[in-house]
Amino acid sequence: MTIQAVRFDPDKDSAPRTQTYEIPFYDESMVVLDALNYIKSHIDGSLSYRWSCRMGICGSCGMMINRTPKLTCNAFLRDYWPRPITVEPLSNFPIIRDLVIDMDDFLHKLKSVQPWIIRQQDIPLGAREHRQTNEQIDDFRQFSQCINCMLCYAACPVYGINGEFLGPAATALARRYNLDSRDEGLKKRLPVIGEAEGIWECSFVGECSVVCPKGVDPAKAIQQTKLDTTMRFVLPYGNRE
């Protein structure tokens, strides 16, 4: 099977180029990550890419497979056979080397929404439990499935055009904590998610939700947050805790 992988050596190349490899396709369960590992082990050890768990949990092997953002551990060769597969680094991010992108911008944005439980006053460990009903958990459960794979950022043309956009995953995770009954950090997150480059930059392309490998719906999180922030602004006492 033919694999066309993007190569970029910052010390030699002025722009990314494509290199073609032929790999044996002998097992129906082979995924694109297996093909890349075969290339690295048997054909060209200089090919660089990120990967870790091989089971769609760590979110580190996201790449563009035939121009669609996918986890390479979750993209089966049988779905593309006999056509060649083009593997590119995730769109909308600077390329460090070959298929490795610079994720600093995403990590900075993720940290800016403080995706952890914020309490105004911490209760000492062992003092009491933070109990939640099933309904309360259902409010945010799907948003908590995000694995930070950045496929949604690669699929988002708004982020591609305006790199200042907070983006889908960061907003979905902010929503996950804002909806958590244990959390009291909404007012700390609002200045980030409510600004012009936050939720209001989104024009609802919707592709972020289509490509998410974990079934998270970031587009829904963004639209819900738009409505919530508007209601907080419009309704009397909307800004109270």
Partner 1 sequence: MTTEVQAAPREYGWRMPAVWWARQRHYFLYMLREFTAVPMALWLLWLLVEIQRASNGPTHYSPHGSPWFVAFSVIVLGFALYHSYTFLKLAGVIIRLKIFDRPIPSGAIVLAVFGTWAVASAVVGFVLIWFSR
Residue with Cβ nearer partner 1 (25 or 159): 159
What is d(CA 156, CA 194) in angstroms, rounded to the nearest whole number?
Answer: 19
* Binding piece for partner 1, criterion CB under 8 A, among 44-52, 167-175, 188-196, 222-230: 222-230
Residue 14 burial (CB count, 10 A): 7
Q: What is the DSSP string of 23-76?
A: -----TT-BHHHHHHHIIIII-TT-------SSSSS---EEEETTEEEEGGG-B
Residue 84 C-beta: closest distance to partner 1, Å = 17
Stretch that binds partner 1, among 26-34, 168-176, 183-191, 206-214 (CB under 8 A): 206-214
Q: Does 180 bind partner 1 (CB under 8 A)?
A: no
Contact 142, 215 (CB under 8 A): yes
181 binds partner 1 (CB under 8 A): no
Does residue 215 interact with partner 1 by CB under 8 A? no
In eight-state DSSP terms, residue 206 is -
| 176 is an interface residue for partner 1 by CB under 8 A | no
Tell whether residue 92 is a contact of partner 1 (CB under 8 A).
Answer: yes
- Residue from 37, 60, 91, 148 touching partner 1 (CB under 8 A): that is 91
Instruction: Give which of 81, 99, 110 is closest to 177, Cα–Cα.
Output: 110
Write the binding mask 119 to 138 for partner 1: x where contact by CB under 8 A, - elsewhere.
--------------x-x--x
**What does the alpha-carbon distance between residue 190 and residue 238 come to, in Å, rounded to a whole number?**
13
In this structure, what token pair is assigned to residue 14? 């002025």
Residues of the shown chain interacting with partner 1 in the complex, contacts defined by CB under 8 A? 8, 10-11, 13, 15-16, 67-68, 91-97, 102, 133, 135, 138-139, 157, 160-161, 203-207, 210, 220, 223-224, 226-227
